[in-house]
Structure 1
Amino acid sequence: MQLWNTFSKEELEQKLREAGHEFVTISFYKYAKIANPQIFRDYIYQLLNNNQVLGRIYVAHEGINAQISVPTNRLNEFRTDLYSIDFLNEVRLNIAVEEEGAEFPFLKLKVKVRSKILADGLTDESFDVTDIGKHLKAEEFNELTQDPNTILIDFRNHYEHEVGHFKGAILPDVDTFRESLPIIEDAYLKGNEDKNIVMYCTGGIRCEKASAWFKHRGFKNVHQLEGGIIKYANECKEKGLDNRFIGKNFVFDERRGERITDDVVSNCHQCGEPADVHVNCANEACHLLFIQCEKCTAKYESCCTPECQEITHLSFEEQKALRKGLENSNKIFKKGRAEHLLQKLNQ
């Protein structure tokens, strides 16, 4: 049995349109001890594929991390099948705050085995990732973050909190989770061992590992926002609570963001006007992710520079030849840290 996808992007989009499914976007994770990630990977692939689920899933010895789209008419079956796995029984499913922003958040199902479900750069074998800090529901989070003895830290990368964050949060200028752990400890936590440490991220997976790490490092009052921004926004809406998040929540699918409030807290990286829409440069040899307003989108045709714009006017074969041998993934994931984006550098 084939346990992977072989269709092109265009073929996948056409198949989805023909199927006519409505999807709900869901994320979930679970730290657990998986003895054989490859066998589990093949099993979970078949389970999800049988339910026509699309998305991106990472499996490792330390657990599973998933961002997926589930057909609404298969949601009950998917939940039943997923919960039939012992360590995933009743696992929290974070439902997207909004579905606007992309026709299909995911085009295919990808399940990959990784060394870790969240790269952390840690080598301490005595570290127990399951010895986590205290989870806070939305109301508890609101209450504790008003305490002057509390340090609130955004545990996402700079391009994420640039478009939205909690009021009063520390916003570390980091590119990756692995670099955030030592930077946050050295810059913000040392000397504050007696304070309440409250962390938040998109869906909770980064804070869960970070809370366990900081407990391992000797910090006592470690907390995390349960379910991250996604669950918080839904909980505030359901219970009529004061929503203290402003702007957009960056998400790692084709939507690139879900709006929590109407506040626009960031600026176009080209002209400096208020904007919070992330785009990838239309030049496939560049593909840089940056913030672009509607006027600059029209002016530069979704490109980050006039040079990239010129390249997009070349034939497909000419563009393909220019891309040959280039490795630009690290530059892409600098998320706007480029010398030609002067507005970003000057913020």
Structure 2
Amino acid sequence: MNKHAPKLNKVILYYIFTPITDPDAVLLWQQNLCQSLNLKGRILISKHGINGTVGGEMADVKRYVRETRRYAGFKKITFKWSDGTGNEFPRLRVVVKDELVAFGSPGEIEVDENGVIGGGVHLRPEQVEELVKERGDEVVFFDGRNAYEAKIGKFKNAIVPDVDSSRDFIREIESGKYDHIKDKPVVTYCTGGIRCEILSAVMKKRGFNEVYQIDGGIVKYGERFGDEANWEGSLYIFDDRMAMDFSDKAKVIGECDKCSAPTRDFRNCNTASCHQLILLCDSCALLPSNLSCTHDQSRAHDSELVG
């Protein structure tokens, strides 16, 4: 074995809804496991399940997957893999929260060993395309992410709710803006699927009659179809990469906040205490004044990870 061969780094994204009786014990186990394998990332644990994204050397990540699946409730986790650099996460953070996704209403959902009770029907990426082929323009794609994420990538003709965080969704759904699609086939989507587990249940409880969610989210859809079907643009992700493409044919749909030139690149505000983002082309990013805190996109409001 060549000790000087370049190390392969990987990032995984995952979640599962399953009852956890002692979230604090799971926290200690996950924290110790990640530290022993030199993995960094973010893991949320609640009584409803676990949601995480971690990265490190491939052999260590593989061992993490094996060990995590030893827990009875986590055997069915689907881990979504992507290439990493080793610099995606500055540290390891494992926390217990009331909600896996911060909708601001912990009692909104119930879970059992099969997942969220009363959520939308899961569709594999191939089934999404079959639905579109069968029902045509009747199908409504409904973005379950923060509005700024859709600036660089979304499903074609999707509805993008005006929300800054997941906490805004219940109010947005109850506003009446979307009552006209209550009897249409609605396909909710988000990064890895976790936000739509809850969003689809929220919508069904409020009278949306035919609600679906993409199994594995945009990540799995993009892995299957790349840029050859109904997805267009880049996928915003919650680590230091900030965006990823599914192929070299990815369309650039984002526009620079300063000059409207095509771009997919979000930049962090220069103020250390600020967590806001601004969408800038390479030329505008060279001017320090363009990185000042004068924009309205924020990722500080949401505690969900990447789903």
* Cα pair distance change 1:255/1:114, threshold 3 Å: same
Q: 2:117 aligns with which of 106, 121, 130?
A: 130
Mapping for residues 127-276 of structure 1, pairs under 5 Å:
129-146=116-133, 147=135, 148-237=137-226, 242-260=228-246, 261-276=249-264
Aligned residue number for residue 23 of structure 2: 37
What TM-score comes out, normalization by structure 2 length?
0.84
Which amino acid is the alignment partner of residue 60 of structure 1? Answer: S
Give 1:52's match in structure 2, choosing from 19, 33, 38.
38
For the structure 1 residues 187 and 23, does the alpha-carbon distance in structure 2 shift closer, same or farther, using more than 3 Å as the test? farther
Deviations 1:116-155 (A, max 9, x none): 1111122656755433221111111122234233221011
Matched-pair identity in % = 29
Check the 8 A contact 1:95/1:231 in 2, yes or no: no
- Counterpart of 1:253, as a letter, is D
Counterparts of 2:258 and 2:40, CA distance in 1: 34
Which structure has more RCO (C-alpha within 8 Å, separation ≥ 6)? 2
Counterpart Cα distance in 2 of 1:252 and 1:125: 25
Q: Structure 2: which 5+ runs fail to align?
A: 1-5, 302-307
Aligned to 2:272: 284
Alpha-carbon distance between aligned partners in 1 of 2:206 and 2:110, rounded to the nearest angstrom? 9
Measured on the aligned residues, the alpha-carbon RMSD in Å equals 2.8
Q: TM-score, normalised by structure 1?
A: 0.75
Q: Please tell me whether Structure 1 or Structure 2 has the larger radius of gyration of its CA atoms.
A: 1
SS of corresponding position for 2:94: strand
Cα contact 2:164–2:297 (8 A) shared by 1 = no
Query: Which residue identity lines up with residue 140 of structure 1 in the other structure?
Result: Q
1: CA distance, partners of 2:231 / 2:81 = 17
8 Å contact from structure 1 (residues 236, 243) kept in 2: yes
Higher alpha-carbon deviation: 165-174 or 127-136:
127-136
Letter in 2 for 1:104: N
Q: Which has the higher strand share?
A: 2
Preserved contact between residue 127 and residue 216 of structure 1 (Cα < 8 Å):
no
Q: How big is the shift at 1:272?
A: 2.1
Shift of residue 196, structure 1, vs aligned partner = 1.1
In structure 1, how many angstroms separate the alpha carbons of the residues matched to 2:96 and 2:107? 21
